[in-house]
Structure 1
Amino acid sequence: MPEGHILHRLARLHHEHYAGAPVRVSSPQGRFADGAALVDGRVLTHADAWGKHLFHHYDNGAVVHVHLGIYGEFTESALPLAAPVGQVRMRMRGVGHGSDLRGPTACEVITPGDVDAIEARLGPDPLRPDADPERAWARIIKSRSAIGVLLMNQAVIAGIGNVYRAEVLFRHGIHPERPGKSLSRSQFDEVWADLVELMRIGMERGRMHVVRPEHDHGAPAYAKNRPRTYVYRRAGDPCRVCATPVLHKVMGARNLFWCPVCQPA
Protein backbone atom coordinates (compact mmCIF):
# COMPACT_ATOMS: atom_id res chain seq x y z
CA MET A 1 0.00 0.00 0.00
CA PRO A 2 1.42 3.44 -0.91
CA GLU A 3 2.52 5.30 2.21
CA GLY A 4 1.92 8.95 3.00
CA HIS A 5 4.88 10.37 1.11
CA ILE A 6 3.37 9.12 -2.17
CA LEU A 7 0.08 10.92 -1.54
CA HIS A 8 1.86 14.15 -0.68
CA ARG A 9 3.96 13.84 -3.81
CA LEU A 10 0.80 13.34 -5.88
CA ALA A 11 -0.89 16.31 -4.20
CA ARG A 12 2.05 18.55 -5.06
CA LEU A 13 2.22 17.25 -8.62
CA HIS A 14 -1.51 17.66 -9.23
CA HIS A 15 -1.51 21.13 -7.71
CA GLU A 16 1.34 22.15 -10.02
CA HIS A 17 -0.34 20.77 -13.14
CA TYR A 18 -4.02 21.53 -12.55
CA ALA A 19 -4.58 24.26 -9.96
CA GLY A 20 -6.00 27.55 -11.19
CA ALA A 21 -7.54 26.26 -14.41
CA PRO A 22 -10.53 24.15 -15.51
CA VAL A 23 -9.91 20.41 -15.46
CA ARG A 24 -11.66 17.88 -17.66
CA VAL A 25 -12.61 14.91 -15.52
CA SER A 26 -14.12 11.67 -16.80
CA SER A 27 -14.50 8.04 -15.81
CA PRO A 28 -13.65 5.74 -18.73
CA GLN A 29 -14.49 2.75 -16.54
CA GLY A 30 -17.85 4.29 -15.64
CA ARG A 31 -17.77 3.66 -11.88
CA PHE A 32 -17.01 7.33 -11.15
CA ALA A 33 -19.18 8.81 -13.91
CA ASP A 34 -21.60 10.65 -11.61
CA GLY A 35 -18.81 12.08 -9.50
CA ALA A 36 -16.79 13.12 -12.55
CA ALA A 37 -19.79 15.02 -13.89
CA LEU A 38 -19.88 17.15 -10.74
CA VAL A 39 -16.34 18.48 -11.24
CA ASP A 40 -15.78 18.20 -14.99
CA GLY A 41 -14.80 21.59 -16.36
CA ARG A 42 -14.50 23.17 -12.91
CA VAL A 43 -11.40 24.98 -11.67
CA LEU A 44 -9.23 22.99 -9.29
CA THR A 45 -8.29 25.43 -6.54
CA HIS A 46 -5.79 23.24 -4.72
CA ALA A 47 -4.76 19.67 -3.96
CA ASP A 48 -3.51 18.43 -0.63
CA ALA A 49 -3.06 15.25 1.38
CA TRP A 50 -3.41 14.01 4.94
CA GLY A 51 -1.85 10.63 5.63
CA LYS A 52 -2.94 8.24 2.90
CA HIS A 53 -5.83 10.45 1.73
CA LEU A 54 -5.63 12.75 -1.31
CA PHE A 55 -8.04 15.67 -1.79
CA HIS A 56 -8.72 17.68 -4.97
CA HIS A 57 -10.63 20.87 -4.11
CA TYR A 58 -12.74 22.52 -6.84
CA ASP A 59 -14.21 26.00 -7.12
CA ASN A 60 -17.81 24.80 -6.71
CA GLY A 61 -17.06 23.40 -3.25
CA ALA A 62 -16.83 19.79 -4.40
CA VAL A 63 -13.85 17.73 -3.27
CA VAL A 64 -12.61 14.57 -4.95
CA HIS A 65 -11.35 12.22 -2.24
CA VAL A 66 -8.97 9.43 -3.26
CA HIS A 67 -7.59 6.61 -1.12
CA LEU A 68 -5.33 4.36 -3.17
CA GLY A 69 -5.60 1.34 -0.88
CA ILE A 70 -3.43 -1.62 -1.83
CA TYR A 71 -3.83 -1.60 -5.59
CA GLY A 72 -4.56 2.00 -6.55
CA GLU A 73 -2.16 4.07 -8.60
CA PHE A 74 -1.99 7.20 -10.72
CA THR A 75 -0.15 7.30 -14.02
CA GLU A 76 0.94 10.72 -15.26
CA SER A 77 1.42 11.65 -18.92
CA ALA A 78 1.78 14.58 -21.25
CA LEU A 79 -1.15 15.33 -23.52
CA PRO A 80 -2.58 14.01 -25.70
CA LEU A 81 -3.44 10.92 -23.67
CA ALA A 82 -3.68 7.57 -25.36
CA ALA A 83 -6.91 5.59 -25.29
CA PRO A 84 -7.58 4.31 -21.75
CA VAL A 85 -5.89 1.00 -20.91
CA GLY A 86 -7.36 -1.14 -18.15
CA GLN A 87 -9.96 -0.02 -15.65
CA VAL A 88 -9.40 3.73 -15.47
CA ARG A 89 -11.60 4.98 -12.64
CA MET A 90 -10.83 8.67 -13.17
CA ARG A 91 -9.10 10.54 -15.97
CA MET A 92 -7.97 14.16 -15.52
CA ARG A 93 -6.86 16.44 -18.34
CA GLY A 94 -5.46 19.91 -17.85
CA VAL A 95 -3.15 22.17 -19.82
CA GLY A 96 -0.61 19.81 -21.33
CA HIS A 97 -0.91 17.13 -18.66
CA GLY A 98 -3.14 14.18 -17.89
CA SER A 99 -3.59 11.68 -15.05
CA ASP A 100 -5.24 8.26 -14.98
CA LEU A 101 -6.34 6.63 -11.72
CA ARG A 102 -6.76 2.86 -11.51
CA GLY A 103 -7.78 0.52 -8.72
CA PRO A 104 -8.34 2.88 -5.76
CA THR A 105 -10.15 1.88 -2.61
CA ALA A 106 -11.99 5.22 -2.68
CA CYS A 107 -12.66 7.74 -5.45
CA GLU A 108 -15.63 9.90 -4.53
CA VAL A 109 -16.94 13.44 -4.46
CA ILE A 110 -17.41 14.75 -0.93
CA THR A 111 -18.00 18.10 0.79
CA PRO A 112 -15.53 20.23 2.76
CA GLY A 113 -17.37 19.09 5.89
CA ASP A 114 -16.68 15.48 4.93
CA VAL A 115 -13.00 16.37 4.53
CA ASP A 116 -12.98 17.81 8.04
CA ALA A 117 -14.57 14.62 9.38
CA ILE A 118 -11.97 12.41 7.69
CA GLU A 119 -9.08 14.51 8.96
CA ALA A 120 -10.54 14.56 12.47
CA ARG A 121 -10.27 10.77 12.57
CA LEU A 122 -6.60 10.82 11.57
CA GLY A 123 -3.53 11.35 13.68
CA PRO A 124 -0.93 14.01 12.92
CA ASP A 125 0.80 13.67 9.56
CA PRO A 126 4.60 14.13 9.71
CA LEU A 127 4.56 15.78 6.27
CA ARG A 128 2.03 18.47 7.13
CA PRO A 129 3.29 21.83 8.48
CA ASP A 130 0.35 21.92 10.90
CA ALA A 131 1.13 18.49 12.39
CA ASP A 132 0.95 18.33 16.19
CA PRO A 133 3.12 15.44 17.46
CA GLU A 134 1.73 15.97 20.96
CA ARG A 135 -1.48 14.28 19.81
CA ALA A 136 0.45 11.15 18.85
CA TRP A 137 2.53 11.18 22.03
CA ALA A 138 -0.59 11.48 24.19
CA ARG A 139 -1.99 8.26 22.70
CA ILE A 140 1.27 6.31 22.66
CA ILE A 141 2.28 7.04 26.26
CA LYS A 142 -1.09 5.79 27.54
CA SER A 143 -1.20 2.60 25.48
CA ARG A 144 -0.21 -0.95 26.36
CA SER A 145 -0.37 -1.86 22.67
CA ALA A 146 2.87 -2.69 20.89
CA ILE A 147 4.58 0.28 19.30
CA GLY A 148 4.65 -1.73 16.06
CA VAL A 149 0.85 -1.73 16.11
CA LEU A 150 0.51 1.89 17.17
CA LEU A 151 2.69 3.19 14.34
CA MET A 152 0.40 1.50 11.81
CA ASN A 153 -2.72 2.97 13.40
CA GLN A 154 -3.69 5.93 11.21
CA ALA A 155 -5.51 7.50 14.15
CA VAL A 156 -2.17 7.72 16.00
CA ILE A 157 0.14 8.87 13.19
CA ALA A 158 -1.21 9.30 9.67
CA GLY A 159 0.69 8.09 6.63
CA ILE A 160 2.94 5.43 8.18
CA GLY A 161 2.92 2.06 6.47
CA ASN A 162 4.78 -1.20 6.76
CA VAL A 163 8.11 0.00 5.41
CA TYR A 164 8.46 3.16 7.48
CA ARG A 165 7.20 1.27 10.55
CA ALA A 166 9.89 -1.41 10.30
CA GLU A 167 12.70 0.91 9.30
CA VAL A 168 12.20 3.74 11.77
CA LEU A 169 12.00 1.27 14.68
CA PHE A 170 15.25 -0.33 13.51
CA ARG A 171 16.98 3.03 13.13
CA HIS A 172 16.20 3.81 16.77
CA GLY A 173 16.83 0.36 18.24
CA ILE A 174 13.23 -0.11 19.39
CA HIS A 175 11.75 -3.60 19.50
CA PRO A 176 8.38 -3.56 17.71
CA GLU A 177 6.64 -5.44 20.54
CA ARG A 178 7.50 -2.90 23.21
CA PRO A 179 4.36 -1.33 24.72
CA GLY A 180 3.84 2.24 23.63
CA LYS A 181 3.83 3.41 27.23
CA SER A 182 7.38 2.06 27.71
CA LEU A 183 8.87 4.61 25.31
CA SER A 184 10.58 7.64 26.77
CA ARG A 185 9.71 11.10 25.57
CA SER A 186 13.15 11.47 24.02
CA GLN A 187 12.69 8.22 22.07
CA PHE A 188 9.35 9.40 20.73
CA ASP A 189 10.77 12.80 19.77
CA GLU A 190 13.64 11.14 17.91
CA VAL A 191 11.29 8.77 16.07
CA TRP A 192 8.97 11.62 15.10
CA ALA A 193 11.83 13.80 13.84
CA ASP A 194 13.19 10.87 11.84
CA LEU A 195 9.80 10.19 10.26
CA VAL A 196 9.55 13.85 9.23
CA GLU A 197 12.97 13.67 7.58
CA LEU A 198 12.59 10.24 5.97
CA MET A 199 9.11 10.93 4.60
CA ARG A 200 10.20 14.30 3.23
CA ILE A 201 13.04 12.57 1.40
CA GLY A 202 10.57 10.00 0.08
CA MET A 203 8.24 12.74 -1.12
CA GLU A 204 11.01 14.66 -2.86
CA ARG A 205 12.59 11.65 -4.55
CA GLY A 206 9.53 9.48 -5.07
CA ARG A 207 11.33 6.56 -3.41
CA MET A 208 11.97 5.61 0.19
CA HIS A 209 15.57 6.06 1.34
CA VAL A 210 15.97 4.70 4.85
CA VAL A 211 19.50 3.26 5.03
CA ARG A 212 22.24 5.54 6.30
CA PRO A 213 25.14 6.09 3.87
CA GLU A 214 27.60 4.08 5.98
CA HIS A 215 25.31 1.01 5.74
CA ASP A 216 24.19 1.42 2.13
CA HIS A 217 26.23 -1.44 0.66
CA GLY A 218 26.31 -5.21 0.59
CA ALA A 219 23.23 -7.26 -0.23
CA PRO A 220 20.94 -5.67 -2.80
CA ALA A 221 17.46 -4.35 -2.12
CA TYR A 222 14.50 -6.70 -1.73
CA ALA A 223 13.21 -5.81 -5.21
CA LYS A 224 14.60 -4.46 -8.45
CA ASN A 225 14.99 -0.69 -8.62
CA ARG A 226 14.23 -0.27 -4.90
CA PRO A 227 16.67 1.33 -2.44
CA ARG A 228 18.08 -0.93 0.27
CA THR A 229 16.26 -1.41 3.56
CA TYR A 230 17.62 -2.44 6.94
CA VAL A 231 15.03 -5.10 7.78
CA TYR A 232 11.92 -4.75 5.62
CA ARG A 233 11.40 -7.92 3.53
CA ARG A 234 14.83 -9.23 4.60
CA ALA A 235 13.74 -12.15 6.84
CA GLY A 236 16.65 -14.54 7.33
CA ASP A 237 19.18 -12.18 5.71
CA PRO A 238 22.04 -10.79 7.81
CA CYS A 239 21.43 -7.46 9.50
CA ARG A 240 23.33 -4.71 7.70
CA VAL A 241 24.77 -3.54 11.04
CA CYS A 242 25.44 -6.66 13.16
CA ALA A 243 24.99 -9.57 10.68
CA THR A 244 22.36 -11.31 12.86
CA PRO A 245 19.57 -12.90 10.77
CA VAL A 246 16.55 -10.61 10.47
CA LEU A 247 13.39 -12.00 12.08
CA HIS A 248 9.82 -11.98 10.81
CA LYS A 249 6.35 -12.40 12.24
CA VAL A 250 2.81 -11.26 11.49
CA MET A 251 1.60 -8.40 13.65
CA GLY A 252 -1.88 -6.99 13.17
CA ALA A 253 -2.29 -8.96 9.90
CA ARG A 254 0.83 -7.28 8.45
CA ASN A 255 4.34 -8.64 8.01
CA LEU A 256 6.82 -7.33 10.56
CA PHE A 257 10.63 -7.43 10.37
CA TRP A 258 13.26 -6.63 13.00
CA CYS A 259 16.77 -7.45 14.18
CA PRO A 260 16.84 -9.17 17.60
CA VAL A 261 20.26 -7.73 18.46
CA CYS A 262 19.93 -4.15 17.23
CA GLN A 263 16.35 -4.02 18.59
CA PRO A 264 16.52 -5.90 21.89
CA ALA A 265 13.30 -6.88 23.64
Structure 2
Amino acid sequence: MPEGHSVHRIARQFERHFVGETVAASSPQGRFAEGAALIDGRTMTQSRAVGKQLFLEFDEALYLRVHLGIYGAWDFGGAVSRDATTRASRGRMGQTGMRGAADDTVVGEHEDSLASIGAPRRTRLRMAEQETETETLEGFPPEPVGQVRARLLTETAVADLRGPTACEVIDAAQVQQVINQLGPDPLVDDPDEGEERMVERVRKRRTPIGLLLMDQSVVSGIGNVYRAEILFRARLDPHIPGSQLSDETVRDLWRDWRYLLGVGVDTGQMLTMDDLDEEARARALRSRADRHWVYKREGLPCRVCGTHIVLEMAAARKLYYCPTCQR
Protein backbone atom coordinates (compact mmCIF):
# COMPACT_ATOMS: atom_id res chain seq x y z
CA MET A 1 0.00 0.00 0.00
CA PRO A 2 1.34 3.48 -0.84
CA GLU A 3 2.40 5.23 2.36
CA GLY A 4 2.48 8.92 3.19
CA HIS A 5 5.60 9.83 1.22
CA SER A 6 4.12 8.40 -2.00
CA VAL A 7 0.93 10.42 -1.71
CA HIS A 8 2.86 13.62 -1.03
CA ARG A 9 4.96 12.93 -4.12
CA ILE A 10 1.82 12.36 -6.20
CA ALA A 11 0.41 15.65 -4.91
CA ARG A 12 3.65 17.31 -6.00
CA GLN A 13 3.27 15.90 -9.52
CA PHE A 14 -0.19 17.41 -9.78
CA GLU A 15 1.12 20.70 -8.42
CA ARG A 16 3.80 20.80 -11.12
CA HIS A 17 1.78 19.70 -14.13
CA PHE A 18 -1.95 20.23 -13.47
CA VAL A 19 -2.55 23.11 -11.05
CA GLY A 20 -3.56 26.20 -12.99
CA GLU A 21 -4.62 24.15 -16.01
CA THR A 22 -8.06 23.40 -17.40
CA VAL A 23 -8.69 19.68 -16.91
CA ALA A 24 -10.79 17.33 -19.01
CA ALA A 25 -12.08 14.66 -16.65
CA SER A 26 -13.51 11.33 -17.72
CA SER A 27 -14.00 7.78 -16.51
CA PRO A 28 -12.87 5.30 -19.19
CA GLN A 29 -13.97 2.45 -16.95
CA GLY A 30 -17.35 4.10 -16.36
CA ARG A 31 -17.51 3.71 -12.58
CA PHE A 32 -16.67 7.37 -11.94
CA ALA A 33 -18.66 8.92 -14.79
CA GLU A 34 -20.91 11.09 -12.60
CA GLY A 35 -18.02 12.41 -10.52
CA ALA A 36 -15.91 13.10 -13.60
CA ALA A 37 -18.75 15.14 -15.12
CA LEU A 38 -18.76 17.42 -12.07
CA ILE A 39 -15.11 18.49 -12.53
CA ASP A 40 -14.80 18.19 -16.31
CA GLY A 41 -13.65 21.45 -17.87
CA ARG A 42 -12.74 23.05 -14.55
CA THR A 43 -9.37 24.48 -13.53
CA MET A 44 -7.35 22.61 -10.90
CA THR A 45 -6.46 25.16 -8.23
CA GLN A 46 -4.65 23.16 -5.59
CA SER A 47 -3.13 19.73 -4.93
CA ARG A 48 -2.80 18.60 -1.33
CA ALA A 49 -1.93 15.40 0.52
CA VAL A 50 -2.82 14.65 4.13
CA GLY A 51 -1.48 11.30 5.23
CA LYS A 52 -2.68 8.79 2.64
CA GLN A 53 -5.48 11.06 1.41
CA LEU A 54 -5.10 13.14 -1.78
CA PHE A 55 -7.28 16.21 -2.34
CA LEU A 56 -7.32 17.85 -5.78
CA GLU A 57 -9.18 21.16 -5.67
CA PHE A 58 -11.02 22.60 -8.66
CA ASP A 59 -12.66 25.98 -9.12
CA GLU A 60 -15.97 26.56 -7.37
CA ALA A 61 -14.58 24.62 -4.39
CA LEU A 62 -15.04 21.11 -5.68
CA TYR A 63 -12.51 18.49 -4.63
CA LEU A 64 -11.51 15.12 -5.98
CA ARG A 65 -10.64 12.93 -2.98
CA VAL A 66 -8.57 9.84 -3.68
CA HIS A 67 -7.33 7.11 -1.34
CA LEU A 68 -5.22 4.60 -3.25
CA GLY A 69 -5.63 1.79 -0.75
CA ILE A 70 -3.73 -1.44 -1.41
CA TYR A 71 -4.05 -1.65 -5.18
CA GLY A 72 -4.38 1.95 -6.33
CA ALA A 73 -1.92 3.79 -8.58
CA TRP A 74 -1.64 6.91 -10.71
CA ASP A 75 -0.15 6.71 -14.20
CA PHE A 76 1.21 10.06 -15.38
CA GLY A 77 1.94 10.58 -19.07
CA GLY A 78 2.95 13.29 -21.50
CA ALA A 79 5.34 16.15 -20.80
CA VAL A 80 5.82 15.21 -17.15
CA SER A 81 9.04 15.03 -15.18
CA ARG A 82 10.55 12.84 -12.55
CA ASP A 83 12.03 14.42 -9.50
CA ALA A 84 14.83 13.14 -7.28
CA THR A 85 14.04 9.42 -7.54
CA THR A 86 15.83 8.60 -10.77
CA ARG A 87 18.88 10.70 -10.06
CA ALA A 88 19.12 9.17 -6.58
CA SER A 89 19.00 5.61 -7.84
CA ARG A 90 21.70 6.37 -10.39
CA GLY A 91 23.94 8.02 -7.85
CA ARG A 92 23.65 11.55 -9.23
CA MET A 93 21.75 12.97 -6.32
CA GLY A 94 23.60 15.22 -3.87
CA GLN A 95 25.21 12.93 -1.28
CA THR A 96 24.58 15.11 1.73
CA GLY A 97 23.93 12.23 4.12
CA MET A 98 20.64 10.82 5.30
CA ARG A 99 19.73 13.94 7.25
CA GLY A 100 20.74 16.37 4.52
CA ALA A 101 18.23 17.98 2.20
CA ALA A 102 17.86 16.23 -1.15
CA ASP A 103 18.31 18.10 -4.42
CA ASP A 104 14.88 19.29 -5.53
CA THR A 105 15.83 20.55 -8.98
CA VAL A 106 13.12 20.11 -11.59
CA VAL A 107 14.33 17.16 -13.57
CA GLY A 108 12.74 18.38 -16.76
CA GLU A 109 15.85 20.53 -17.12
CA HIS A 110 18.21 17.53 -17.11
CA GLU A 111 18.83 14.29 -18.94
CA ASP A 112 16.55 12.34 -16.59
CA SER A 113 13.50 14.25 -17.77
CA LEU A 114 10.65 12.20 -19.13
CA ALA A 115 10.45 14.80 -21.90
CA SER A 116 14.08 15.85 -22.19
CA ILE A 117 15.04 19.12 -23.83
CA GLY A 118 16.24 18.74 -27.42
CA ALA A 119 14.69 15.29 -27.81
CA PRO A 120 11.03 15.50 -26.79
CA ARG A 121 9.79 12.18 -25.51
CA ARG A 122 6.51 11.36 -23.87
CA THR A 123 6.34 8.48 -21.46
CA ARG A 124 4.22 6.93 -18.73
CA LEU A 125 5.25 7.12 -15.09
CA ARG A 126 3.42 4.93 -12.60
CA MET A 127 3.29 6.28 -9.05
CA ALA A 128 2.11 4.03 -6.24
CA GLU A 129 4.22 2.44 -3.46
CA GLN A 130 7.03 2.27 -6.02
CA GLU A 131 7.61 4.51 -9.04
CA THR A 132 8.39 3.08 -12.47
CA GLU A 133 8.65 4.40 -15.99
CA THR A 134 6.64 1.85 -17.93
CA GLU A 135 6.74 2.79 -21.61
CA THR A 136 7.42 5.46 -24.19
CA LEU A 137 4.27 6.94 -25.68
CA GLU A 138 4.03 7.24 -29.46
CA GLY A 139 1.16 9.70 -29.39
CA PHE A 140 -0.65 12.00 -27.00
CA PRO A 141 -2.96 11.55 -25.31
CA PRO A 142 -2.42 7.81 -25.03
CA GLU A 143 -5.30 5.37 -25.08
CA PRO A 144 -6.34 4.28 -21.57
CA VAL A 145 -4.77 0.98 -20.57
CA GLY A 146 -6.73 -1.40 -18.36
CA GLN A 147 -9.39 -0.41 -15.86
CA VAL A 148 -8.92 3.36 -15.55
CA ARG A 149 -11.33 4.72 -12.93
CA ALA A 150 -10.61 8.40 -13.64
CA ARG A 151 -8.62 10.25 -16.31
CA LEU A 152 -7.46 13.85 -15.85
CA LEU A 153 -6.18 15.42 -19.06
CA THR A 154 -4.60 18.78 -19.95
CA GLU A 155 -3.03 19.90 -23.23
CA THR A 156 0.34 18.44 -22.18
CA ALA A 157 -0.20 15.87 -19.41
CA VAL A 158 -2.52 13.06 -18.44
CA ALA A 159 -3.09 11.25 -15.16
CA ASP A 160 -4.91 7.90 -15.07
CA LEU A 161 -6.19 6.51 -11.78
CA ARG A 162 -6.72 2.79 -11.35
CA GLY A 163 -7.73 0.56 -8.44
CA PRO A 164 -8.35 3.16 -5.70
CA THR A 165 -10.17 2.44 -2.46
CA ALA A 166 -11.87 5.85 -2.65
CA CYS A 167 -12.48 8.22 -5.56
CA GLU A 168 -15.17 10.86 -5.08
CA VAL A 169 -16.01 14.50 -5.69
CA ILE A 170 -16.81 16.37 -2.46
CA ASP A 171 -17.11 19.93 -1.20
CA ALA A 172 -14.95 21.89 1.24
CA ALA A 173 -17.02 20.93 4.28
CA GLN A 174 -16.69 17.23 3.44
CA VAL A 175 -12.95 17.64 2.96
CA GLN A 176 -12.69 19.09 6.43
CA GLN A 177 -14.74 16.23 7.86
CA VAL A 178 -12.23 13.74 6.42
CA ILE A 179 -9.24 15.73 7.71
CA ASN A 180 -10.79 16.06 11.17
CA GLN A 181 -10.74 12.26 11.47
CA LEU A 182 -7.03 12.05 10.68
CA GLY A 183 -4.07 12.21 13.00
CA PRO A 184 -1.32 14.77 12.43
CA ASP A 185 0.81 14.75 9.27
CA PRO A 186 4.35 16.14 9.75
CA LEU A 187 4.29 17.81 6.33
CA VAL A 188 0.91 19.47 6.88
CA ASP A 189 0.52 20.25 10.57
CA ASP A 190 2.63 22.56 12.68
CA PRO A 191 5.40 20.23 13.96
CA ASP A 192 4.96 21.15 17.63
CA GLU A 193 1.17 20.98 17.54
CA GLY A 194 1.31 17.69 15.64
CA GLU A 195 3.69 16.27 18.20
CA GLU A 196 1.34 17.16 21.05
CA ARG A 197 -1.64 15.63 19.25
CA MET A 198 0.21 12.38 18.67
CA VAL A 199 1.39 12.21 22.30
CA GLU A 200 -2.18 12.73 23.53
CA ARG A 201 -3.66 10.13 21.18
CA VAL A 202 -1.06 7.45 21.91
CA ARG A 203 -0.78 7.91 25.68
CA LYS A 204 -4.51 7.51 26.34
CA ARG A 205 -4.79 4.17 24.53
CA ARG A 206 -4.04 0.68 25.83
CA THR A 207 -3.65 -0.55 22.26
CA PRO A 208 -0.15 -1.86 21.36
CA ILE A 209 2.03 0.80 19.77
CA GLY A 210 2.53 -1.47 16.75
CA LEU A 211 -1.17 -1.04 15.99
CA LEU A 212 -1.42 2.61 17.00
CA LEU A 213 1.20 3.69 14.47
CA MET A 214 -0.97 2.19 11.71
CA ASP A 215 -4.11 3.93 12.98
CA GLN A 216 -4.60 6.96 10.72
CA SER A 217 -6.62 8.71 13.43
CA VAL A 218 -3.53 8.66 15.68
CA VAL A 219 -0.89 9.74 13.17
CA SER A 220 -1.22 10.12 9.40
CA GLY A 221 0.71 8.39 6.65
CA ILE A 222 2.44 5.50 8.40
CA GLY A 223 1.97 2.10 6.77
CA ASN A 224 3.45 -1.34 7.23
CA VAL A 225 6.99 -0.47 6.13
CA TYR A 226 7.42 2.69 8.14
CA ARG A 227 5.71 1.11 11.16
CA ALA A 228 8.24 -1.72 11.32
CA GLU A 229 11.22 0.52 10.66
CA ILE A 230 10.29 3.31 13.08
CA LEU A 231 9.77 0.82 15.90
CA PHE A 232 13.10 -0.85 15.22
CA ARG A 233 14.93 2.49 15.05
CA ALA A 234 13.43 3.26 18.47
CA ARG A 235 14.32 -0.26 19.72
CA LEU A 236 10.72 -0.45 20.86
CA ASP A 237 8.65 -3.60 21.44
CA PRO A 238 5.62 -3.34 19.11
CA HIS A 239 3.43 -5.02 21.74
CA ILE A 240 3.78 -2.32 24.43
CA PRO A 241 0.49 -0.47 25.01
CA GLY A 242 0.57 3.20 24.12
CA SER A 243 -0.50 4.11 27.64
CA GLN A 244 2.71 2.59 29.02
CA LEU A 245 5.00 4.73 26.89
CA SER A 246 6.53 7.93 28.21
CA ASP A 247 5.73 11.26 26.62
CA GLU A 248 9.33 11.54 25.48
CA THR A 249 9.23 8.14 23.77
CA VAL A 250 6.17 9.16 21.78
CA ARG A 251 7.79 12.51 20.94
CA ASP A 252 10.82 10.65 19.61
CA LEU A 253 8.55 8.49 17.41
CA TRP A 254 6.90 11.61 15.98
CA ARG A 255 10.24 13.28 15.29
CA ASP A 256 11.62 10.18 13.59
CA TRP A 257 8.48 9.88 11.45
CA ARG A 258 8.84 13.53 10.50
CA TYR A 259 12.45 12.90 9.46
CA LEU A 260 11.79 9.65 7.55
CA LEU A 261 8.80 11.14 5.75
CA GLY A 262 11.00 13.97 4.52
CA VAL A 263 13.59 11.48 3.26
CA GLY A 264 10.85 9.50 1.50
CA VAL A 265 9.42 12.54 -0.25
CA ASP A 266 12.87 13.71 -1.34
CA THR A 267 14.14 10.37 -2.62
CA GLY A 268 10.96 8.49 -3.52
CA GLN A 269 12.18 5.58 -1.43
CA MET A 270 11.37 4.37 2.07
CA LEU A 271 15.04 4.60 3.01
CA THR A 272 15.27 3.98 6.75
CA MET A 273 18.94 3.14 7.36
CA ASP A 274 21.20 6.00 8.47
CA ASP A 275 24.93 6.69 8.14
CA LEU A 276 25.39 4.79 4.88
CA ASP A 277 28.51 5.38 2.84
CA GLU A 278 28.11 6.35 -0.81
CA GLU A 279 28.24 2.77 -2.10
CA ALA A 280 25.78 1.44 0.49
CA ARG A 281 23.42 4.37 -0.11
CA ALA A 282 23.40 3.78 -3.87
CA ARG A 283 22.76 0.07 -3.26
CA ALA A 284 19.90 0.87 -0.86
CA LEU A 285 18.27 3.21 -3.37
CA ARG A 286 18.40 0.47 -6.00
CA SER A 287 17.17 -2.45 -3.89
CA ARG A 288 14.64 -2.78 -1.10
CA ALA A 289 16.63 -5.68 0.31
CA ASP A 290 19.40 -3.22 1.19
CA ARG A 291 17.12 -0.43 2.37
CA HIS A 292 15.49 -1.58 5.61
CA TRP A 293 16.39 -2.83 9.08
CA VAL A 294 13.60 -5.40 9.56
CA TYR A 295 10.86 -5.03 6.93
CA LYS A 296 10.50 -8.22 4.84
CA ARG A 297 13.59 -9.68 6.53
CA GLU A 298 11.82 -12.45 8.45
CA GLY A 299 14.16 -15.34 9.25
CA LEU A 300 17.24 -13.28 8.39
CA PRO A 301 19.73 -12.15 11.04
CA CYS A 302 19.18 -8.75 12.60
CA ARG A 303 21.66 -6.25 11.16
CA VAL A 304 22.54 -5.21 14.72
CA CYS A 305 22.47 -8.29 16.98
CA GLY A 306 22.20 -11.28 14.65
CA THR A 307 18.91 -12.61 16.08
CA HIS A 308 16.51 -13.79 13.40
CA ILE A 309 13.86 -11.24 12.51
CA VAL A 310 10.34 -12.33 13.51
CA LEU A 311 7.20 -12.06 11.39
CA GLU A 312 3.76 -12.22 12.98
CA MET A 313 0.27 -11.08 12.05
CA ALA A 314 -1.18 -8.07 13.84
CA ALA A 315 -4.69 -6.93 12.89
CA ALA A 316 -4.37 -8.83 9.59
CA ARG A 317 -1.14 -7.02 8.66
CA LYS A 318 2.40 -8.38 8.73
CA LEU A 319 4.53 -7.13 11.61
CA TYR A 320 8.32 -7.44 11.46
CA TYR A 321 10.61 -6.93 14.46
CA CYS A 322 13.75 -8.12 16.24
CA PRO A 323 12.85 -9.95 19.47
CA THR A 324 16.23 -9.07 20.99
CA CYS A 325 16.76 -5.42 20.03
CA GLN A 326 13.09 -4.56 20.57
CA ARG A 327 12.36 -5.87 24.03
TM-score (ref. length: structure 2): 0.76
Aligned mates of 1:85, 1:129 — CA distance in 2: 37
2:34 maps to: 34
1:119 maps to: 179
Question: 1:95, CA displacement in angstroms?
Answer: 3.8
Aligned mates of 1:245, 1:226 — CA distance in 2: 15
TM-score (ref. length: structure 1): 0.93
**Partner-residue secondary structure (3-state), 1:88:** coil
Which structure has more relative contact order (CA 8 Å, sep 6+)? It is 2
Q: Deviations over 1:193-216 (max 9, x none)?
A: 110111111112211100123599
1:85 maps to: 145
The correspondence of residues 82-231 of structure 1 with structure 2, limited to 5 A, is: 82-130=142-190, 132-214=194-276, 228-231=291-294
Question: 1:130, CA displacement in angstroms?
Answer: 3.3
**Partner-residue secondary structure (3-state), 1:194:** helix
Is the aligned partner of 1:260 residue 2:323?
A: yes
Question: 1:169, CA displacement in angstroms?
Answer: 0.4
Is the aligned partner of 1:58 residue 2:121?
A: no
- Percent of counterpart pairs with the same letter? 46
Q: Which moved more, 1:125-134 or 1:188-197?
A: 125-134
Given that residues 208 and 227 in structure 1 are in contact (C-alpha distance below 8 angstroms), is that contact kept between their aligned partners in structure 2? no
Aligned mates of 2:13, 2:168 — CA distance in 1: 20
Is the aligned partner of 1:46 residue 2:51?
A: no
Measured on the aligned residues, the alpha-carbon RMSD in Å equals 1.8
Distance change (3 Å), C-alpha of 1:177 and 1:225? closer
Question: 1:224, CA displacement in angstroms?
Answer: 5.3
Pick aligned residue for 2:302 from 239, 250, 263:
239
Give runs of ≥4 in structure 1 deviating > 6 Å.
none
**Partner-residue secondary structure (3-state), 1:34:** helix
Aligned mates of 2:276, 2:144 — CA distance in 1: 45
Q: Deviations over 1:48-71 (max 9, x none)?
A: 011111001001221100010100
Question: 1:47, CA displacement in angstroms?
Answer: 0.7
Aligned mates of 1:225, 1:245 — CA distance in 2: 18
